[in-house]
Amino acid sequence: MLTVFPKLGSAFTVIMQVRQNGAMSQSANQDRLTFWANEAANLHWHKSPTKTLDWSAAPFAKWFDDGKINASFNCLDRHVNAGLGDRIALYFEGEPGDTATYTYRELTAAVKRAANALVALGIGEGDRVAIYMPHIAEAIIAMQAVARIGAIHSVVFGGFSAESLRSRIQDAGAKLVITADGGFRKGKATALKPAVDEALADNHCPTVEHVLVVRRTSQPVDTHPRDVEWADAMAAAEAEHVAHGFDAENPLFILYTSGTTGKPKGILHTTGGYLAQVASSHRTVFDLKPESDVYWCTADVGWITGHSYVAYGPLANGASQVIYEGTPDTPDHGRWWQIIEKYRVSILYTAPTAIRSFMKLGRAIPDGYDLTSLRVLGSVGEPINPEAHNWYGSVIGGERAPIVDTWWQTETGAIMISPLPFITKTKAGSAQTPMPGISIAILDEAGNEVGREQAGLLVITEPWPSMLRGIWGDPVRFRDTYWSQFDGKYFAGDGAKYDKDGDIWLLGRVDDVMNVSGHRLSTAEIESALVSHRWVAEAAVVGAADETTGQAVVAFVILRQDEIHDAGADHEISKILRDHVAHEIGPIAKPRQIMVVSELPKTRSGKIMRRLLRDVAESRPIGDVTTLADSSVMGAIGEKLAGGATD
């Protein structure tokens, strides 16, 4: 087991790597807990905790259990009270070019009003609030306001469909939905409110009492008696709001993520441990100097990165950050670099997919901008291939700025494996070392540690403060998914190996979860969206390697002969089915390709052999077919595809 923790009192400059066979020693354990207690002490506690970890009901952890804390107070009032009220908290850049800045004082005032507005709408401690918004300042204000009153937010990415939004609202039992008329994307106003109306239609979500609507685009929207205008609610709200301390284990948010079944999991995070670890990791991974850095994380608030490293970590650390509403190509492909030049961004945190798409466009575009302010570059969401790593470091970072390749998950809440800039000598493609206070192991199927240069399964061997506390409403699934493979250890679902120096390399998911542009998608979820169409009898989905997006969704479908008389040619069917998936889940889940086939390769026990389908999708020779129930199936698929039956 590799345990990494700093020597007490020596901050992060000394990292001890303790390699042991067996259980972690008492003293190492004690150091780890003392380390986290010290990190938590950097926050403001309404009542300081006397306990660090309670693991007696494992895998249900309690951190800082007897402490009382308010996440929003820590992100806002604390800085104003410390004399930093004039520091910029947010530089908002809208896609059409409109801008807004919020100092910490202004952001605090906005969140206080919003908190009062929520209370006026009947929201209180423990209530769930769904947030379905574009990436605008009001989304962060809404999250902070929900947290401030001890309610629980469930942010649903604005790119998800009405259907996905509905199932998330239902699962969480949300009492309020906060949305906007729409947002700006690719030079156009896109609509969000109609999806909320569709999700709530026909009393599908009876728990929802109100919909709070921010006007972003001035598009006409249908109104309902339950709707409340954000601007009116803010104007009517009291300006002052006193933040109370809530139990450290009070739920902070639910965030849905894809698993191996068709139903997304509501990952539950609580307050004290989460905030302690996101603030600590944000400071160390990016070498943050809050008084001088301008930080920009490009993730949307709809994802965990937008929670931990936009809405909470940077604000908890009193940092100044940029948020940009739109896409990188609007009005032209220089938009990101123009933003970096304009705000003198010094820390950039983004995903390899973005880097690869910029790489394809050539260096002339970024070379046209002054990027010399950049001093630390971060990568997240998927493995960064060495070519993209080198391009990022040289073209964007000017060979000056180190790259931190950060591995973590919605479930871990915070960065778990990453080099530390200016301390770790970085290696292209490797996330390298566990963070201080984090214990990682790589095991074989039987639970034994693998040797160096051998692939195994990544596990986290000791609880950590920002760990998920469960799956909303489903404790059995929580145990089964994460804690049943290796007793008492968290199974991440990723393959990994140590290289000869003991650095960690991530090898991708080992389950039926795909990673498309750094977004997690479930094969089962897309398969069930496909079979919900009346033409589709059976579907199998695989993630195929893709030069830009890392993986792409490729689907194989068997059509219902009795239903397809009105369907048209295969390529027309594919188009309609692709659109159907986008409608059911959201455009991010749209298959790159749909292949119409007459059989699917299955084992004798009826399990679809995705490995073989991946061979087809990646145009490789078909692998071993001996375990197929009917070995002629792959030949038939090959023939059908050779006949041009793809999208």
Report the interface residues with ligand PRX, using CB under 6 A. Answer: 257, 304-305, 380-383, 405-410, 431, 492-494, 506, 509, 515, 520
Tokens of 437: 């206070």
- Which one, of 130, 127, 114, lies nearest residue 251 by Cα? 127
| Helix-strand-coil split of the chain, %, nearest 5 | 30, 25, 45
CB of 431 to ligand PRX, least distance (A): 5
Q: What residues form DSSP beta bridges with 443?
A: 449, 457
**Closest C-alpha to 275, from 599, 27, 47, 44:** 44
Supply the minimum distance, in Å, between the C-beta of residue 620 and ligand PRX.
Answer: 22
Nearer Cβ to ligand PRX (314/493): 493
At residue 575, what are phi and psi to the nearest 5 degrees? -60, -45
Q: Could you identify the residue written with the tokens 């304009």?
A: 342
DSSP state of 512: S
Taking the least distance from each CB to ligand PRX, the nearer of 52 and 257 is: 257
C-beta of 212 vs 506, nearer to ligand PRX = 506
Nearest approach in angstroms of CB 481 to ligand PRX is 12
| CB of residue 426 to ligand PRX, shortest distance in Å | 12
DSSP string, 317-386: TT-EEEEE-S-TTSSSTTHHHHHHHHHT--EEEE-HHHHHHHHHH-THHHHTS--TT--EEEEESSPPPH
Nearer to ligand PRX, 217 or 258 (CB): 258
Q: Residue 515: what residue type?
A: N
Structure tokens at 63: 């951190």
Q: Which residue, 91 or 407, is less far from ligand PRX as judged by CB?
A: 407
Angle value at C-alpha 170, between 168 and 171, nearest 5 degrees: 65
| 383: CB partners within 8 A, 6+ apart | 352, 429, 506, 507, 508, 550
In the complex, the smallest distance separating the C-beta of residue 381 from ligand PRX, rounded to whole angstroms, is 5
Placement of tokens 């990415």 in the chain: 157
- Residue 515 Cβ vs ligand PRX, minimum distance, rounded to whole Å: 5
233 token code pair: 């609610």
If the CB atoms of residues 53 and 351 are measured against ligand PRX, the closer one turns out to be 351
Rounded to whole angstroms, how far apart are CA atoms 619 and 642? 11
Residue number, 277 or 515, with CB nearest to ligand PRX: 515
Please report which helix (H) or strand (E) contains residue 578, including its range.
helix 570-584
Nearer to ligand PRX, 89 or 323 (CB): 323
Nearer to ligand PRX by Cβ, of 438 and 506: the residue is 506
Q: Which residue is nearest to ligand PRX (CB)?
A: 410
Q: Phi and psi at residue 461, in whole multiples of 5°?
A: -95, -15
Specify the residue, 306 or 591, whose C-beta has the smaller distance to ligand PRX. Answer: 306
Rounded Cα gap, residues 578 and 555, in angstroms:
9
Residue 91 vs 490, nearer CB to ligand PRX: 490
d(CA 408, CA 460): 11
Smallest gap from Cβ 531 to ligand PRX, in A, equals 24
Residue 365's CB is within 10 A of a number of other CB atoms, namely: 17
Least distance from ligand PRX to the Cβ atom of residue 417, Å: 7
Q: For the CB of residue 505, give the shortest distance to ligand PRX in the complex, in Å.
A: 9
- Identify the residue whose tokens are 């450290």: 248
State in angstroms the smallest separation of the CB of 78 from ligand PRX.
Answer: 26
Task: Report the nearest approach of ligand PRX to the CB of residue 169 (Å).
Answer: 20
What six digits make up the tokens of 409? Answer: 């998950």
